[in-house]
Structure 1
Amino acid sequence: MSHALPQEAFLTQYAETLQLRLGTPTVLAIAPDGAVLFSRTPARSFGADLYELEPRSGQTRLLATADGLLAGGAEALSDGEKARRERTRTATRGILYAELSAAGDVVLVPLGERVFVLSRPGGACRELTLGEGFPYDPRLSPDGRHVAFVRDGDVWVCDAVTPGAAPRRLTTRPHPDIEYGTAELVAAEELRRHRGLWWAPDSQSLLVQRSDARQVDTLYVADARHPDRAPVPFKYPRPGRPNVIVDLGVISLAGGEPRWITWDLARWPYLAHVQWPARGPLTLVVLDREQYEQAVLAVELEASEPQVRELLSERDAAWVNLPAGAPLWLDDGAGFLWLTEARGDWTLELHDARGAHLRSLSEPSLGLRSLVALDGDHVLVVASAGPASDPAAAALAACEAHVWRIPLAGGAPVRVTQVAGVSTAVARHGQLVVTTARADGGVVTTLHASAGRAVELPSVREAPLLSPTTELITVALEERQHVVAVTRPTGARAGQRYPVLLKVYGGPHVQYVTNSRDSYLMDQWYAEAGFVVVRVDARGTPNRGRAWERATLHDLISTPLAEQIAVLRALAATDPMLDLQRVGVFGWSFGGYFSAMALLLHPELFQVAVAGAPVTDWSLYDTGYTERYLKLPAHNRAGYHATSLLTHASKLERPLLLIHGTTDDNVHFAHTLALIEALYVAGKRAEVIALSGTHMVPDPRLALARERAHLELFRKHLTEPVGAGA
């Protein structure tokens, strides 16, 4: 092929730079003096170091390196830390986390089994003496004087000021299946809550999660690549089975028994969010088991026994989505901000301290995504590109994300970011830091300082060796507008027909079609091999309104699959380059499930599929995700049966490649084994690649081999005459 050499060079670059994420700054904290602390790796190294950007001068200085703190030693990770990094999809190492004291003069830096405190602005560094064992999730007190952490399921605290001070244990677990201070799997994987330990604003006590997993099924993950290693047991709740029982206690640094917080655990078993503001009550967001309802609870701690009152509750006929960044208490504690979908799309509301609704601050047409922070008498949010004049323009606007300022007193929102693309933001102390994946390529992180200056955080990310040609096209189906991302070979010739690759995720909470050019780098790599690569976000995906997303209630596959096929056919009807006699489909995780189901149910369209780490039977996945959409098995047995790949295994007619990590603790390898067995019993065969690894594939060698295997399969079955090799 004429593009063989640059195509191969790019693939190597893409794998060795962790999908070109290496070298980009990651904001960790903003200090009261306006300085921005961020971590950054070199362009081709997975080890991150700690930097500080001074806003007035715009200068960046190196605060600490992982190698320097470890004095050349290796970074050791506990099983718990490895699991947490899997939950957060973190593949880098080194200084990935830093926490500032309220005054900004102390920086906590954990590195595996070792924990360091740095002084600002001088930079003096000291390692804490924490004793034997791994400290998990260390947290700095707001006054900078103590560090709390979890070890072997108990909460400990250490004096961070006195050199050589020994840690004290604050809890004593009564049973091996009861832990303190950690988020359970469902919270971390499905509810975006990754911690189970919070300091009080006055630094005198800790809020501690207690997790009782005695009734939860124990599963074992064995590493077949290393048979000398014992299988790792872990608690994994599956649909219809018992969950971890979660409650909270307040523990004083002065000692004494925990003060347990009591709410209706039978009604609200899921703890989704915790906020302990300096002014305002300790606040919880809780959910029912099937996630039809959520409530915001205020906890008053002045009495001897904590008192819980409900501030608001919401119910949805399908499921409630957790509002990102909400509730957010006002600086004076007089009220809080809330996001709701009650009007058909996310809107921003102001409530008083008792929970009463005061006013709505935005319209559904804004396309809100998340709350960022208060900014004086305004609030910063992330939303779409803004209201549009027609449905097609609105669909395209939803492919972008921007920072907006909304007046708390009411009034029109003002867009802060003007560059087209997808932006995320953090803000504190009057400083706003925005990271934008740009529509014209590249990823830029910029500090918008309180004085009005804009300072770019330095990146050492490599420039990609390919430039995507991707177009975003709207396709109307009935009264719905779908946005399609189409990537063609460089120099594609009019009149020539190309085989089509449908690159898919297709499931909840992932928007796959966005106006960010570098999102399509791998699409272009496949296109340079002679394919047209297509992405579609059908119903069931986020950021297109409540009704669009809730279309998959009780059945996660039928509507998205039918719509993606219909969009693909409608696109091909107006674009003669697309040869629908030669179509492949591929994806990972939910996208792997989607790809396999597409091949099983529609062999008349799809000639070949690659399914990476697919969920094959929803009864084997976790409670928090599965029951949100399919509900309890007892309430939807037909849905579980119809949406299982095992049910349809006998329908396999086309080549299927399954790729799965044998130690995947999210979508377990048991999923792929179950499908292999069902295919075998039905007299069918699939090609299987079993990798020694987890749900992520960060190893550059494996990432290279995976993409080459995909391409080899697609070339074999799609670039020859129809039917050849099938």
Structure 2
Amino acid sequence: MKRLFQTSILTLFFLTVASLTAETNAQEKSRYISFEEALYAGGQLSGSNGPSNVVWINDGDQYSYTQRNSETGASEIRSYNPATEEDRLIFVNSDFQIPGTNETFQYNSFQWTDDSRFIVFQSNFRPIYRRSGISDYYYYEVESGELNVLVKDAMTAELSPDGSKVGFEREGDLFVYDLNEEKETQLTDSGAENFYNGRFGWVYEEEFGLAQAWSWSHDSKYIAYWQTDERDVELFVSTDYAGTYPEYVEIPYPKVGQDNPGIKIGTVHVESGENTWMDLDLKDGYVPRFYWTSKPGNLAIVWMNRPQNHLQLHFFDASSGNGTLIMEEKNEEGWIDVFDFFAGIDHYFFFPEEVEQFFWVSERDGFNHIYRYNYSGELINQVTDGNWEVTNIHAINPSSEFIYYSSTEESPLERHLYSIKFDGSQKEQHTVEPGNHAISMGDNGLFYIDRYSNINTPRQVELWSTAGELLRKLEDNATVSKYVENKVYAPKELFSFITSDGQQLDGSIIKPIDFDPNSSYPLLFNIYGGPGAQGVYNSWESSGWTQWLAQEGYVIVNVNNRGSGGYGHDFEKIVYKNLGHWEAHDFAETANYLIDEYDWIDGERVGIRGHSYGGYMSSFAILTHPNIFKVAIVGAPVTDWRLYDTIYTERYMGLLEDNEEGYAQSAVTTHAAKLQGKIFIAHSSMDENVHMQNTMQLVKALTDQGKDADLRIYPPGAHGVAYNQTSYQLLYRTYTEYLDEHLKNAE
């Protein structure tokens, strides 16, 4: 009896332990994410970005923003005054119907008149290229509460500075609509197929970063515009192969060495309708930017030669078309930038009103810095200097003579906000928390919204005054922290090392979930690597797919390879006329460093994955460093720069006739015979950016050498390959299974 009692106690004990263990295992298992959850976990990991569609109004004293009403689901436009803390409701979309219909009014974006009297809405956006599309535009009078149709099926529209008119481009011509008289006037009349007034073609929009090819003068008297003639540009033809007889799409697309669009710069006097052409000899070059200066009727035009290593700034009289050369710059060891796609800075020239001075961001001393000039083209002073880069200018206040800018002075891995006087004095750092700070600021520089994160802190959104006061915490993303607490999460860690040729490189590493230093893990490079780009920052890691890979036992690495932005001229321009080689070299150097440094990285299981330029680099790296990389996942790759567009390629590779061997050696197809590992390529037949021709020529080159490649074609997709949620899931599941089979589980 006693023995039976003891047995029962033992049985109960083991059952209890087993139950608790099972419960713990179930709880632990619930912390892991499924593959489908991982693909869409980016939103939960990045969290809220704070107020949406922020537009600073009243010179920066207030900002308007949109929010979704949690009870009604309606989209609200509100305005907030940081000084008074007044938060005012301006517009509710559910209160309005699309004029002439019973449908609730919806919009994509909006803009204000300077006097805050009107709002112009962009609605029913239908994309054409990366930045452009066809839209319907409406205007709303705040005082009367009336919503009216402005124009249907227009490409771009913009309010005049005085708020009395709206200019717009439709079907290749420019128009103006008088809000007070409710009258439309046509300003140009020569628009035709592949011939536009106030509209760019594909190559200018894609590679110079603007969608709107016209601009109001400050006094609202003139509109300056690009006239684009693509009638002699060769056509790129694509199809999604649907139907019995597929339909083909044609896009004028100039490839390396071929004819570019013809460009003229015109001005039109809005009241008289008189058009004037600026007397500018393009010399087979480009006009990437123009600006209205503070002098009435004075237009500044930026000209560049075709290789984009020679820049001139001209001033033109809008009424006569006569011009004067103001300044110029040449760079024999690289290219000259006029904007930075990756930093989100659209302009390197700034012409503030009220003063006859302009500012230019240039790397003439080896790093991007701000220079101040007078209107005669004489350098007044260099505003900033040091072995660091100015990455963005947020505001220039002529009254206080302060410039507000972001830079890498703290670290190339971080961005911080500073202010400085026009003469270079009184520099002050405004952001102090470590991390990558993205700034939204009004024209006067009094207030700003700071969105920042670091490797230990999810995105924070704060409203500050430049006097140094935190006015309001707009978002702390506590939901992200809670999600990370309840789910497994692999944080990003930063590292740096010196390559065998003496260059310091910065990188990031994500270790597997349940990391065990006594285990052995496969290493995957997840890279982009293109000129001016930067892959590693001191910022929060929010990629769901990366978290899945970490959960499945991968080490994920990225590195700021040579060619990256943020490190100065020499670091970036070393890749000039020699794309691919230094980038792949640095990926291989990083792999060797990590393999030597950490016993838990398996040097026989190293893979690389990238898309677009990253697709180029992943394919180039596995072919030129076959002893390092065993698997490559290649998305939408350029495989031969002779197949890509003029503006991008010739900027970095020079003209074909001047660098034929460089083009040949930078082509992935040239190195096809070197393939030893496994390569997976995904592309879309409707990719208007990097044409599927690139992938087909690589497959042919590999086949000619007896080398095999795994290929997936997604016909309807564009440059992103996937074209809907189902295809997106399939694409990334295929990527993952390929890595599992050929890298993770490789023998």
TM-score, length of structure 2 as denominator length: 0.85
Per-residue CA distance 1:499-547 (angstroms, 9 max, x = gap): 0001111111210011111355543331111011111111111110100
Q: Secondary structure at the match of 1:657?
A: strand
In structure 2, distance between residues paired with 1:67 and 1:435: 32
Determine the structure 1 residue equivalent to 2:506: 483
Could you tell me which amino acid in structure 2 is paired with residue 403 of structure 1?
Answer: L
Residue 364 (structure 1) aligned with residue 386 (structure 2): yes
- Shift, 1:344, TM fit: 0.8
After superposition, where does 1:322-721 map in structure 2 within 5 Å? 322=338, 324=345, 325-375=347-397, 376-386=400-410, 397-427=411-441, 428-439=443-454, 440-449=456-465, 452=469, 454-457=471-474, 463=480, 467-477=489-499, 478-519=501-542, 521-691=544-714, 692-696=716-720, 697=722, 699-721=724-746
Q: 1:11 aligns with which of 38, 47, 50?
A: 38
After superposition, where does 1:67-216 map in structure 2 within 5 Å? 68=96, 70=98, 73=103, 95-112=107-124, 113-120=135-142, 122=143, 124-130=145-151, 134-163=153-182, 165=183, 167-173=184-190, 175-216=192-233
In structure 1, distance between residues paired with 2:77 and 2:245: 37
Q: Secondary structure at the match of 2:549?
A: helix
Q: Secondary structure at the match of 2:595?
A: helix
- Shift, 1:200, TM fit: 1.6
Could you tell me which amino acid in structure 1 is paired with residue 727 of structure 2?
Answer: L
Q: Secondary structure at the match of 1:168?
A: strand
Q: Is the CA contact (8 Å cut-off) linking 2:42 and 2:542 kept in structure 1?
A: no
Give structure 1 stretches of 5+ with no counterpart. 76-93, 387-396
- Shift, 1:171, TM fit: 1.1
Could you tell me which amino acid in structure 2 is paired with residue 433 of structure 1?
Answer: Y
Q: Is the CA contact (8 Å cut-off) linking 2:609 and 2:634 kept in structure 1?
A: yes
- Shift, 1:126, TM fit: 1.7
Q: 1:680 to 1:53 in 2, by over 3 A?
A: farther
Q: 1:97 to 1:544 in 2, by over 3 A?
A: same
Q: Secondary structure at the match of 2:306?
A: coil
Q: Is the CA contact (8 Å cut-off) linking 2:505 and 2:561 kept in structure 1?
A: yes
- Shift, 1:13, TM fit: 2.8
Q: Secondary structure at the match of 1:552?
A: coil
Q: 1:48 to 1:618 in 2, by over 3 A?
A: farther
Determine the structure 1 residue equivalent to 2:25: none
In structure 2, distance between residues paired with 1:415 and 1:193: 31
Q: Is the CA contact (8 Å cut-off) linking 1:66 and 1:111 kept in structure 2?
A: no
In structure 2, distance between residues paired with 1:40 and 1:631: 47
Q: Is the CA contact (8 Å cut-off) linking 1:15 and 1:704 kept in structure 2?
A: no
In structure 2, distance between residues paired with 1:300 and 1:649: 55
Q: Which has the larger radius of gyration?
A: 2
Could you tell me which amino acid in structure 2 is paired with residue 206 of structure 1?
Answer: I
Q: Is the CA contact (8 Å cut-off) linking 1:22 and 1:41 kept in structure 2?
A: no
Q: Is the CA contact (8 Å cut-off) linking 1:128 and 1:160 kept in structure 2?
A: no
Q: Is the CA contact (8 Å cut-off) linking 1:499 and 1:579 kept in structure 2?
A: yes
Q: Is the CA contact (8 Å cut-off) linking 2:42 and 2:544 kept in structure 1?
A: no
Q: 1:312 to 1:456 in 2, by over 3 A?
A: farther
Residue 311 (structure 1) aligned with residue 335 (structure 2): no
Determine the structure 2 residue equivalent to 1:25: 52
The more displaced of 372-381 and 508-517 is 372-381
Q: Is the CA contact (8 Å cut-off) linking 1:211 and 1:246 kept in structure 2?
A: yes
In structure 2, distance between residues paired with 1:571 and 1:48: 49
- Shift, 1:694, TM fit: 1.1
Q: Is the CA contact (8 Å cut-off) linking 1:470 and 1:520 kept in structure 2?
A: no
Identity of aligned residues (%): 23
Per-residue CA distance 1:482-514 (angstroms, 9 max, x = gap): 111010013311221110001111111210011
Could you tell me which amino acid in structure 2 is paired with residue 53 of structure 1?
Answer: Y
Q: Is the CA contact (8 Å cut-off) linking 1:663 and 1:694 kept in structure 2?
A: yes
Q: 2:291 aligns with which of 275, 290, 304?
A: 275
Determine the structure 1 residue equivalent to 2:65: 38
- Shift, 1:598, TM fit: 1.5
Q: Secondary structure at the match of 2:40?
A: helix
Q: Is the CA contact (8 Å cut-off) linking 2:239 and 2:247 kept in structure 1?
A: yes
Q: 1:512 to 1:3 in 2, by over 3 A?
A: farther
Determine the structure 1 residue equivalent to 2:20: none
Q: Secondary structure at the match of 1:510?
A: coil
Q: Is the CA contact (8 Å cut-off) linking 1:3 and 1:528 kept in structure 2?
A: no
Q: Is the CA contact (8 Å cut-off) linking 1:29 and 1:100 kept in structure 2?
A: no
Could you tell me which amino acid in structure 2 is paired with residue 578 of structure 1?
Answer: I
- Shift, 1:316, TM fit: 0.7
Q: Secondary structure at the match of 1:707?
A: helix
- Shift, 1:202, TM fit: 1.7
In structure 1, distance between residues paired with 2:538 and 2:232: 46
Could you tell me which amino acid in structure 1 is paired with residue 414 of structure 2?
Answer: E
- Shift, 1:96, TM fit: 3.8
In structure 2, distance between residues paired with 1:563 and 1:128: 55
Could you tell me which amino acid in structure 2 is paired with residue 367 of structure 1?
Answer: E
In structure 2, distance between residues paired with 1:416 and 1:123: 41
Q: 1:663 to 1:11 in 2, by over 3 A?
A: same
Per-residue CA distance 1:58-117 (angstroms, 9 max, x = gap): 636463448955467599xxxxxxxxxxxxxxxxxx644322212222211111342111
Per-residue CA distance 1:383-423 (angstroms, 9 max, x = gap): 0143xxxxxxxxxx101111110111322521111122222
In structure 2, distance between residues paired with 1:635 and 1:216: 22
In structure 2, distance between residues paired with 1:223 and 1:17: 34
- Shift, 1:217, TM fit: 0.8
Q: 1:151 to 1:371 in 2, by over 3 A?
A: same
- Shift, 1:41, TM fit: 7.3
Q: Secondary structure at the match of 1:616?
A: coil
- Shift, 1:3, TM fit: 8.0
In structure 2, distance between residues paired with 1:610 and 1:196: 37
Residue 286 (structure 1) aligned with residue 308 (structure 2): no
Q: Is the CA contact (8 Å cut-off) linking 1:187 and 1:271 kept in structure 2?
A: no
- Shift, 1:275, TM fit: 1.9
Q: Is the CA contact (8 Å cut-off) linking 1:613 and 1:660 kept in structure 2?
A: yes
Q: Is the CA contact (8 Å cut-off) linking 1:290 and 1:632 kept in structure 2?
A: yes
Determine the structure 2 residue equivalent to 1:89: none
Could you tell me which amino acid in structure 1 is paired with residue 734 of structure 2?
Answer: A
